[in-house]
Structure 1
Amino acid sequence: MEWEKLLSLKRQGDTLKRLRKEQDDTRLGFEVDYDRIIFSSAFRSLQDKTQVIPLSNTDFVHTRLTHSLEVSVVGRSLGRIAGKKILKKHPHLAQVHGYRFNDFGAIVAAAALSHDIGNPPFGHSGEKAIGEFFKTGKGVKYQSLLSKKEYQDLIDFEGNANGFRLLTQSKKGVEGGLRLSYSTLGAFMKYPKESLPKRPSQHISDKKFGFFQSDKDTFCQVAEELGLLQTRKGESVSYSRHPLTYLVEAADDICYTIIDFEDGINLGLISEDYALEYLIKLVKDNINTKKYNSLAFKEDRLSYLRALAISTLISDAVDVFIDNEEAILNGEFSVSLLDKSKYEAQVSDIISLSVEKIYRSQEVIEKEIAGYKIISDILEVYTQALLRQREGKAGNYDELLITTLPECYQNRVTSVYEILLNTCCYVASLSDRSAVHIHNKIMGKQL
C-alpha cells in the first residue's frame, strides 16, 4: 500500500480529484469529516448508550458518547505523533503532495470519533441479543428466506458493519450518507471482510466483519480507491487494513483499558489501593513520586495516574507502529499495536481485573439480561409487522406499529433481507432508555 493513495480526500460522488496542496488549511477536508460525524443524529444517540454499566444512575460513568470523545482525543495524539515520524521517513508526502502531520491526526480522530457509532443499546450484549434473536429465538424462522451470508449478517450482527452503513448509506436526497473522505472511512474499517467465511485466519482483521451484504459494493469501492490489498477474491471478498486503523484501534484499546478501569474504581467495584497498585506498575518508569504523594484526594491521584498511563501507552503504540510500518503497509502485521507493547503484561492484568470485577459484576449482568428481553421483543413485533405488510397481510395492529417507526425504516418495497436488516439497524439506533420506553409501549406497560 502507498501513503499517497491511503491519504485520499475523495468522497462518494466526487467527479474531480481533491488534492491536498489545494486544500484550505483553515478547514481541512479531514477535519470536515469530524464535524459531520459530531453533528450527526447517530452520534448524538451515543449519549445514552452503555459503555460498561447499562442505565447507570451516576454522573461519572462513561457512556458511548464520552468514551468516543476520549478515544478521538487519544487518536488525534497518536495520529499526529505518528504523522510526524511518517513524514520524516517519506518527505515527498509533504514536499510533493503537501501533507502535514496534522492530517494524520485529523483522520485518526474522525475515525475514532465514529468507531462506536453503529453499536446497539446495552453494550456488546446488545449485538449478541440481536444475533440470538435470529440464531435461536423467534427470528430463526427467517433463515430459509435468506442466503448464507445474509443470514450470517444477522446472527452475528456487528456494530462495526452497522457503523459503516450509517456513515455511507445513501437516502433519498442524501447520496453517500455523511460523505466522509475515503481516508477516514478506511481508517474506520477495522474488519475489512464480509461475514463469511467466519474467522478464516488468526489475523486480527479477520476477527469480525466490517460490512453487510447490502453495503458490499460501497465497501469495495472505498477499498479500491485507497489501494488496500485484496486478501481474498471470488465469492468471499476481504482486504488488508488501512494502516491508520491500527492507531484507531490503539486509541480505543488504551481508553477502555484505563478508563473502564477508572469507572470500576469510582463505582467501588475495585478497591482504590488495589487499583492504584495496578496503574503504578504501568507508569512506574514515568511517575513523579513527589507530585503523586502530594495529592491528597483519591480523584486527583486517579486522574494523575490515568493521564500518565494514557500518555505512556500512546508513546509506546506509536513506537510499535513506526517499527512495523513496512509490515503494516504490506498487510503482514497480524495483531493489535498493544499486543506488541512492552507494557502488554500490565495491560493484560488490568483487563483481567476489569473483566472479573466490572464486566461480570451482578449489576451489569442483571441489566444485560433485561436488555436481551427488550431487544428480542422489539425485533419480534416490528419484523413481523413489516413482513406481513410486505405480503399484504398486515392487520390494524401491524399498521399502527409501523407508523411508530422513523420513515426511513418503513420501506415496504424491498427484499426480506433488507427489511430484517433495516429493523436490526433501527433497534441498534436506539439509546438504552429509548429501547426501554418503546418496549414498555409495545408491551402495554405505559400509556
Structure 2
Amino acid sequence: MPKSTRNNKSRRPRGRGGNGNKNARRALAYALSFVVVLILGLYGLYQIKKYIPPDDRAQPVTAEKMSGLVKEADRIIAGAFFDLGISAKDIESKRTSKRSGDGIKWESRVITVGTPGGVDGKEIKGVFKKSFAAEKSYELTFKGSGDALTAELKALGFKTHVIKFEPPSKEAPPAKVVKKAADGTGKETEVKEPQGAREPGKTDEAVGKGESADSGAFEPKIAIIVDDIGTNKGPIDKLIELPAPVTLAVLPNLPYSRYAAEAARNKGLDVMLHLPMEPMESSGYTGSDAGEDALLVGLPKEAVLAKLDKNLSSVPYIKGVNNHMGSKFMENQELMDMVLEEIDGRGLFFIDSMTSSGSVGYKTALMMGMKTGKRDVFLDDSSKDAAYVKSQIEKLVRIAEKNGYAVGICHPYPGTVEALTEMIPQIDSRVEIVPVSSILTGGGEVSER
C-alpha cells in the first residue's frame, strides 16, 4: 500500500532568519549599553579624582611640605592643649632642633608639659587621638602611662613632635653661694643666686646640643586684614604705622591704590588685591555697588577673565587676593574654578572673606592645592563704634587661643583705627599678630583646619 503523500512530503527546516536578526540586534544593544555604562563610569571616576585632594602620603616628600606639616601639627596640638585645659604656664619647656633624612630637612620639637590636676593619661590620649583622627599624614603613638605619658608624632614617617606629660614640677630652692663680705669684717654671707640663669635662647637641656628654646612654637597667632584700601590717603598712613604687621587689601584703580601698595611694601606689610565681585541683591547691594571692575555672574567667561587680569595688574606687590562683596559670585562653582585657576597660576594665595555662608572659594582653593585661608571674624561695621571693634578683637583672640590662629577682617573706619591702636599693645601678651601669608593652609602641605 502506497505511503501517504503527506508523509512523503519532505520536511522543510523552519526558517531562522527572523530570529537570528532579533538576536543580533539584542546582542548589539547589550554591547552598546555596556560601552555607555563603561564610559559614564570612567567619566565619574575622573570627576571624583579631579575634586578629591591628593593624599599627601602618595606625593613626593619635600622640605617645604614637611615645614607645612610641622606648622599644621603645631596648630592641632595647640587646639588639643586648649581642650585639655593646658595653658602656656603649664608648658615647662619647648625645644626645636633641625633634623635631616632622606635628603630633606625639617624641624622637630620636644615639649614638656606639667599636666594640670584632674587631667589623666586616658583623657590626654582621647583628646589627641580625636584631634588627629582625620589627618592622614600623621601617625600618633603613646608611651608610658599614669603620670608619665609621652606622645610621639610622625608626619609622613618623619618624627616631628615629642610631647612629655609630667606632674607639675616643683621649683627648686635657690642655690646658696657663700661669699666673703666686702666690708672687711671677714664674715661670710649667703647670697641667693637667681634661678634659671642660662645662655639666652637656650634651655638647660639644649645647652651644648645646638638646640634653641622655642618659646613661640605654640603662641596663638592672629592676622588682621584691612579691606577697602585706596580711596583716601589718611587712613593708609595711620595703618602702616600701627605697631603690628596688619595686611592691606587694596581695591583696584582707585586714587590711592598704588600709593597704599607701595607704602605697605616699604613697611614690610603684606599687600593683597581686594577683588570686586557681584553681591546678592538680598545683601542690599548690586553689582554696580561693587564697582565698574567687578566680576559679574552674567558676563561671558572671556569678559570675566579680562576684568580679572585688569584688576590683578592694577595693584603692585600683591601676594594674594580676597573678595570684595561677592556673595553671589562666590557661590558659583564654575566661575570660581576659573578665577582661582588664574590666581593660582600667578603664584598668589586666596583668602575667602566669607561674605556668604554658601561660598565655595575656600574649599575650592584647598582642593586645587592653593595656599588659602578664610575669615573668622568681621571686626567692625560702619554703624558701630570703637567699643564694638574692641569686643570683636577680643572674640578674635579667643578663637586664636582655641584653634592656634584666626583671621579678622576690618575696614579703615576712624573707630576701627582707634580701636586697633589701643588694643594691639593690650593683646600682645596673649597672641602674636602676623602677616596673613604666614598662617595659610593648603599649598599641598596641610589639610583643612
TM-score, normalised with respect to structure 2:
0.24
Greater strand share, 1 or 2?
A: 2
Q: Higher relative CO (CA 8 A, sep ≥ 6), structure 1 or 2?
A: 1
- The structure that has the greater radius of gyration is 2
TM-score (norm. length: structure 1): 0.24
Looking at secondary structure, tell me which structure has more helix per residue: 1
